[in-house]
Amino acid sequence: MREIANADDFSVVAALGADELPEDLVEYSKKVGQRPVRRLLDRTFYAPYVAAVELNRRFGQGDPERFALFTVSSWDPSVPVPDYAEVESEDRVERLSHFYTHPANPTDWLRRMPNNPICNIAITTGFRGPCMHYIGGADSLSMITSVAISTIADGTADVAMVVAYDMPDGEHHLLAHEGDSSAAAVVLAKGDGTRKAGQLVRSAANHPAGTTALAAMQDYIAATRTALVGGTT
């Protein structure tokens, strides 16, 4: 991807803040998601999935074949370790092997992956443009927004959605079934609209270390909400 000369040549044309998510995320997901998607969703994944699908519904524009999708979150689930992992015994290796391979269900493993939301969002929306999930905080939101802009600049996409989701403080290593997240999302496009994409790149980069991607995006959306075009509030 070529270097972006000016991120302010691109705009945020639609946004959905965490405060705009439907009250019942599970019920919303049941209504819009195909059965295979619903089977793969778990507590952590509902918020980013709903944020993306709902924002796409509101935006209502763009060729799915040329719609890029990016997600960012500090959620990085830890691999569970059983109590007997460090206890010497003749059957330790056998017990550990059984612990990590049973139930040997592909669905179970897919429900643990950090890139689960981006996959299920793409399935539901039909987005087929460039896509990437990144684990990190506000600085990573700045970077991934720049990458999203570059896909429009170099012609590989016409529009791009960036979704930020995070767990409450201290819970970013929980497994997907153990905690709920929240999410916000924006859609980027070429143009010099009132809400500059470059402003999101800069504001996210300027947040203090330790700020989550979701907090940085939510701050941006709240600060620029009155300038939004494209039908969202």
Report residues of the chain scoring pLDDT below 50: 1-2, 229-233
Q: What local confidence, expressed as pLDDT, does residue 61 receive?
A: 87
Burial zone of 32 (CB within 10 Å; 0-12 exposed, 13-18 middle, 19+ buried): middle
Q: With contact defined as beta carbons under 8 Å apart, do 150 and 1 qualify?
A: yes
- Tokens 């570059």 correspond to 150
CB neighbour list of residue 88: distance below 8 Å, 6 or more residues apart? none
In CATH, what number does 7-77+112-227 get?
A: 3.40.47
Closest by Cα among 15, 22, 1, 9 to 224: 15
φ, ψ at 61 (rounded to 5°):
-135, 165
- Tokens 């905690």 correspond to 179
Q: What local confidence, expressed as pLDDT, does residue 84 receive?
A: 80
Q: What local confidence, expressed as pLDDT, does residue 114 receive?
A: 84
In the chain, where the domains are located: 7-77+112-227
Q: What local confidence, expressed as pLDDT, does residue 4 receive?
A: 56
